[in-house]
Structure 1
Amino acid sequence: MVTHLVFDGVADGPLGVALDIVGAAARVMRAGLVALPKGRPPPRQRIVSVDGEPVRTSAGRTLAVDGALSLRGLGAGDVLVLPGLGMATAPEISAALERPDVVRGVELVARAAAKGVLVAASCSATFVLAAARVLEGRRATTTWWLGPVFAQRFPRVSLCSDRMVVESGGVFTAGSAFAHADLMLAILAHTVSPSVAHMVARYLVLDERASQARYMVLGHLRGADPVIRQLESFVTSNLGRQVTIHEMARATATSPRTLARRVAKGLSITPQRFAQRLRIAQAVHLLETTQHPVDEVSARVGYADPAAFRRIFRRETGETPRARRTRSSVREAEARRGLREG
């Protein structure tokens, strides 16, 4: 049983996508489109709130539920998943975690995990899992713009904020809102079959992504700290070469230790990783807007070793440089065809 636990403010889109994904998995299995062990039943699902009452979604709609969350009968093999709660700022997170319904939800999540239920959440709902202490000592991810807030609030969780989905000790977390699709596919692969998850992704035309890094809007992250803005300016002015931590510190009038602390606080990464992301962002731009060979793009963004560039590009974007260029070309061709047909 897949149980979707919703609260007031639940994001409409991710919940709908999750319902579609589980429903598609059930149809794929009933149709016999994937070879599975005989007798394995298709997944079932329901939507619950902590008290069984309807909730108001982030779009202001009233969402009826199938009942209240009851832990009776739930155990190993069952899934409790929390879609994002539409919380975009630190004050909204703090206020939500003090709401009586969320406090009750935190307690129920902790008890469900203790019973062996697979618990999962995406976007801001990952804060509910962390508050339930089911992530302590484990790796997790959250939506990229709340990474620094999460890391400060839950220091005993090893945050991997550039990952789309993280599984650690049987607990699943995912990044921003529509990473909920990636979360549900990962849960299907874990609880049913990777083949079912892959078939559902194909039928629903969901790309299988490993990283949030290519979606990170660095301007959103860097805005609060002038030192990070100075660092960005220095690195982007020197994209054609590698810069050392000492050069970055001099350019920002800080010591290497102070710079590392400021960047960690603002971005939850190191200055060197920030510089890499700026170079990779420029590489993406060159791949999408020019026909320069990949090795030339590598050199233009400061990587003398093309193999190292490809490795770092894949880590930061979840795909190879060639795949990125191909995907961009396909999108552009489809857009042109749409204009002609329109």
Structure 2
Amino acid sequence: MITHLIFDGVAESSLGVGIDIVGSAARLAASGVVDAPHAAKLLRQRVVSLDGQPVQSGANRTIAVDGAFSLRGMGASDVLVVPGWFSATETSIERLLSQNDTQRGAAALGRAASKGVMLAASCSATFLLAETGALDGQRATTTWWLAAAFARRFPAVSLAADRMVVEAPGALTAGSAFAHADLMLAIIARIAGPSLAQWVARYLVLDNRPSQARYMVMEHLRVSDPALQKVERFIIDNLDRQITLAELANVAAVSSRTLARRVHAGLGMTPNELVQRLRVSHATHMLETSNVSVDEVATRVGYADPAAFRRVFRRFAGESPRGRRIQSTGAHQGM
């Protein structure tokens, strides 16, 4: 059984796509398109709230539910999914987490985890999942613009903010709202087999998107820490050469270890990842706005080896430099 647990403010798109993906998987399995003999039982689903009452969506519409959340009969073969809310700021997510129903929800998720129920959450709901402690010592992801806030609030979680979906032994997490589709496909693959998940993706025309890095905007990740602002400016001014951690620490007037802590607390990443992200950000701008060759772009942002640049660009942008240029050219031609 897959249970969708929803709260006031839920993103209707996330809930809807989750229901449709599970329903499509069940119908495909029943039709015999995919050999999944046990899928019918595993892919039953329901939508619940804590008290069984309708909830108000983020669009301020009333959403009916099938009943109240209950752990009775739930176990290791069940999945408890929490679709996210839209929260644009750290303040808004803190306000959500302080509400009585979300605190009760965190407690309910914790009890479910203790029974072996698989937990899954996307977007800001990953914060609720982390509140239970179920992600401590494990890798997880969250919506990219709240990555720094997540890293500060849950230092025991190994955050992989560039990943679309991260699978851990007892929990799955996904990035921003539409990553809920990727999350549900991962759930289908885990409980009913990857073949069924692949068929669902084909029928619903869902692309494979392992990374949300291409959607990240560096401006959203900036902080007011003057030391980090100096570090960022130094990196930008020296993009065309190798930069050492010692240099960055000297610019910030702190030790290398202290700088690493402050960069992680402020941005949810390592100093090296900050350097790489800024390089990729500037490389993207050049690819989109000039005819400079990919190899020359690599040199201008500090990579003597074009192959290394391509690997780093793909990791942080989610596509190749050539793919980024072609996509940008096509967009401009379509205007």
Alignment TM-score > 0.5, same fold? yes
Question: Whole-Å Cα distance in 1 between the matches of residues 190 and 141 of structure 2?
Answer: 18
Question: Cα gap change, 1:288/1:228 in structure 2, threshold over 3 Å: closer, same or farther?
Answer: same
**Alpha carbons 1:88, 1:124 under 8 Å: kept:** no
What is the CA–CA distance in structure 2 between the aligned matches of 1:27 and 1:198, rounded to whole Å? 14
SS in 1 for 2:241: coil
Partner of 1:247: 247
Cα distance in 2 for residues equivalent to 1:299 and 1:109: 49
Shift of the 325–175 alpha-carbon distance from structure 1 to 2, 3 Å rule, reads same
Q: Deviations over 1:93-132 (max 9, x none)?
A: 3333332322222222112222222110011111211222
User: Residue type matched to 1:49 in 2?
Assistant: S
Query: In structure 1, how many angstroms separate the alpha carbons of the residues matched to 2:138 and 2:83?
Result: 20
Q: Secondary structure at the match of 1:13?
A: helix
Alpha-carbon distance in 1 for matches of 2:36, 2:11:
35
Contact 2:4 2:48 in 1 (8 A): yes
- Secondary structure in 1 aligned to 2:47? strand
Partner Cα separation in structure 2 for residue 288 and residue 203 of structure 1 = 33
Counterpart of 1:218 in structure 2: which amino acid? M
Q: Does 2:132 match 1:132? A: yes
- TM-score when scaled to structure 2? 0.90
The one-letter code sitting in structure 1 at the alignment partner of 2:181 is A
Counterpart Cα distance in 1 of 2:261 and 2:87: 26
Contact 2:151–2:264 (CA under 8 A) maintained in structure 1:
no
Structure 2 residue 40 is the aligned partner of structure 1 residue 41:
yes
- After superposition, the C-alpha distances for 1:279-305 in whole angstroms (9 at most, x for unaligned) are 111222333344544333322221111
Do the aligned partners of 1:46 and 1:66 also contact (CA within 8 Å) in 2? yes
| Paired residue secondary structure (1:319) | coil
The 2-side partners of 1:139 and 1:175 are apart by 13
TM-score (norm 1): 0.88
How big is the shift at 1:54? 0.4
1:12-32 deviation per Cα after TM superposition (whole angstroms, max 9, x unaligned): 221122122222223333343
1:58 is aligned to 2:58? yes
| Structure-2 separation of matches of 1:322 and 1:29 | 39
**Residues paired across the two proteins, number:** 334
Q: Distance in 1 between matches of 2:231 and 2:255?
A: 13
Residue 148 of structure 1: CA displacement? 2.5
Distance, in Å, in 1 between the alignment partners of 2:239 and 2:254 is: 21
Q: Are 1:178 and 2:170 an aligned pair?
A: no
Separation in 1 of the partners of 2:325 and 2:28? 32
| Pair 1:304–1:17, CA change in 2 (3 A) | same
Distance in 1 (alpha carbons) for counterparts of 2:188 and 2:245? 43
Do residues 321 (structure 1) and 334 (structure 2) align?
no
Q: Which moved more, 1:89-98 or 1:149-158?
A: 89-98
Q: Percent identity?
A: 58
After superposition, give the CA deviation of every residue in 1:138-175 in whole Å (9 maximum; x if it has no partner): 21111222223222222222222222111111310111
List runs of 5+ in structure 1 lacking aligned partners. 337-342
Partner of 2:73: 73
1:36 partner amino acid = D
What does the per-residue CA deviation read over 1:178-212, in whole Å, with 9 as the maximum and x for residues that have no partner?
22121111111111222222232233332222222
Q: Report the CA distance between 1:255 and its aligned residue.
A: 4.4
1:221 corresponds in structure 2 to: 221
CA–CA separation in structure 2 for the residues paired with 1:225 and 1:127: 24
Where does residue 149 of structure 2 map in the other structure? 149
Hey, what's the Cα distance between the residues in 2 that align with 1:97 and 1:105?
A: 10
Name 2:205's counterpart in structure 1.
205
How far apart in 1 are the matches of 2:300 and 2:82? 43
Once the two structures are overlaid, the 10-residue window that deviates more, 166-175 or 221-230, is: 221-230
1:145 and 1:39 map into 2 onto residues whose CA distance is: 39
Matched to 2:238, the amino acid is N
CA distance in 2, matches of 1:188, 1:67: 23
Please give the per-residue CA displacement for 1:31-70, whole angstroms capped at 9, x wherever unaligned: 433x324454272222100000001111111111111111
Residue aligned with 1:41, SS: helix
Does the Cα contact within 8 Å between 2:223 and 2:266 map onto a contact in 1?
Answer: no
Residue 135 of structure 1 and its aligned partner are, at CA, apart by 1.3
Relative to structure 2, which stretch is displaced further, 53-62 or 96-105? 96-105
Query: Are the aligned partners of 1:314 and 1:320 in contact in 2 as well (CA < 8 Å)?
Result: yes
Q: 2 CA distance for matches of 1:316 and 1:286?
A: 16
CA contact (8 A) 2:149 2:268 kept: no
The farther-off stretch of 124-133 and 231-240 is 231-240
Change (3 A) 1:39 1:12: closer
Q: Counterpart of 1:84 in 2: which secondary structure?
A: coil
For residues 255 and 136 of structure 1, do their structure 2 counterparts lie closer, same or farther at Cα, with a shift above 3 Å needed?
closer
Larger displacement relative to structure 2 (74-83 or 147-156): 147-156
Alignment correspondent of 1:311: 311
Residues 14-33 of structure 1 correspond to what in structure 2 (within 5 A)?
Answer: 14-33=14-33
Deviation track 1:264-323 (CA, whole Å, cap 9, x = no partner) reads 211121222101101111222333344544333322221111222222222212333344
